Amino acid sequence: MTRPRLLVLSLGGTITMVPSASGGITPKLGADELVASVPALAEVGDIDARSPFRLPSPSLTPANLVEVARLIEAGFASGCDGAVVVQGTDTIEESAFLLDLLVDSDKPVVVTGAMRGADAPGAEGPANLLSAAIVAASAESRGLGTLVVLNYDIHAARFVQKSHTALPSAFLSPLMGPIGTLIERQPRFHARVQRNPTLSAAEGSPVPVALIKVAMGDDGRLLGLLPGLGYAGAVLEGMGAGHVPAEVAPLVGDLAAKIPVVLASRAMTGHVFTRTYGYPGAEIDLIERGVVPSGCLSGLKARLLLGLVLRSAKGATGVSAAFAPYR
């Protein structure tokens, strides 16, 4: 039986961090060292370990993830059966969604990390890395898009969110829960998600998109400044099912006449409504003013999708279609 070939890409993050002379922990371990620290990986398959970046995850950029997507596609073209991306947990939900949008393959892509540093008592990094590799090597993981594996849970990229600053169980998929669990070193899937359309990594990084959270009493004064600051689009995290104060609604409409505006919710999870509330500033009013509802996507993820769509000169006409699969 042919052994699976896995591409392991380490980008840095807590899973790679050890104490530094200046205090605190910083990224140090490379992909080879991570793989060597988990001997059981040799039982999973043949590992091609690389370290394209060694950054804490707040310093990762969408451009970095576009490069990662290209490396994964090249690895798949050369015969790799799956890919594991190791990084810090702060931006995993964004990185995983970008890879879900950019890697056009049924082969598994799995993102993992750790909440505890490599030298900490009870560091879960080795277990998460082994779990991610097992999921990436499994034929059952094919066709599900990018997955996130931590704490033995298997999450779909479009749903996963970091929900706590410290707990190993920080990652949740509140809209539907994990789609699977690793049991006795085997992935057990409880649900399967349909792949949504992908976008080309060859077109480069997302263009700048502003992300604005709407708060009680917000007067919307920032909205009119966005086009002049160089933003190609904007995502508003509205209240509840997608609402803003009544006096802000005309400002939203003015902005939508200049750049594409997507309406998400500041709530932790749930769909943006499209046809329930009709008062000024509610979703019906805002959609009539030209905004596009994000469906189930959070503001963080809607920002990334909009930024990718707007890379093309014709992108503004395709915004609604791009978000339709998530509604």
- Separation between Cα atoms, residue 306 and residue 294, nearest integer Å: 10
| Per-residue tokens: 314 | 């014709």
- Tell me which of 9-18, 185-194, 228-237 is least confident: 9-18
pLDDT at 55: 95
Query: Tens of pLDDT along 40-51?
Result: 999 999 999 999
pLDDT at 285: 98
Give the list of residues 6+ apart from residue 33 with CB closer than 8 angstroms, or none. Answer: none
Give the list of residues 6+ apart from residue 135 with CB closer than 8 angstroms, or none. Answer: 108, 110, 141, 147, 149, 154, 180, 182, 187
Nearest to 138 by CA among 90, 82, 179: 82
Edge-to-edge order in the sheet of strand 180-183: 46-50, 5-10, 82-86, 109-112, 146-150, 153-156, 180-183, 186-189
Give Cα separations from 241 to 177, 213, 262, 273, 326 (angstroms). 20, 13, 13, 5, 15
pLDDT at 25: 80
Is the pLDDT score of 75 beyond 90?
A: yes
Is the pLDDT score of 21 beyond 80?
A: no
Give the list of residues 6+ apart from residue 276 with CB closer than 8 angstroms, or none. Answer: 241, 282, 283, 284
| Per-residue tokens: 78 | 């050369």
DSSP string, 120-176: STT--HHHHHHHHHHHHH-GGGTTS-EEEEETTEEEETTT-EE--SS-TT-EE-TTT
Residues known to be catalytic: 14
What's the pTM?
0.96
Task: Provide, rounded to the nearest whole percent, the portion of the chain with pLDDT above 90.
Answer: 91
- Separation between Cα atoms, residue 72 and residue 99, nearest integer Å: 9
Q: Is 209 helix (H, G, I), strand (E, B) or coil?
A: strand
Burial of 237 (0-12, 13-18, 19+ CB in 10 A): buried
Q: How many CB atoms lie within 10 A of CB 308?
A: 26
Q: How many CB atoms lie within 10 A of CB 274?
A: 16
Would you list which residues are annotated within the binding site for substrate?
57, 89-90
| Per-residue tokens: 173 | 């998929």
Dihedral sign computed on CA atoms, order 87, 90, 95, 96:
positive
Alpha helices, H only, the chain: 31-36, 41-44, 62-77, 92-102, 125-137, 249-256, 283-288, 299-309, 319-323
Determine the average pLDDT of the residues in 136-161.
97
- Separation between Cα atoms, residue 104 and residue 10, nearest integer Å: 21
pLDDT band at 314; cut points 50, 70, 90: confident
Contact 234, 223 (CB under 8 A): yes
For the chain, the average pLDDT equals 96
Give Cα separations from 307 to 101, 259, 295 (angstroms). 11, 12, 16
Can you list the domains of the chain with their CATH numbers? 5-189 (3.40.50.1170), 207-326 (3.40.50.40)
Q: HSE-up of 274 (CA within 13 Å, CB side)?
A: 14
pLDDT band at 1; cut points 50, 70, 90: low
Q: How many CB atoms lie within 10 A of CB 324?
A: 13
Would you list which residues are annotated within the binding site?
57, 89-90
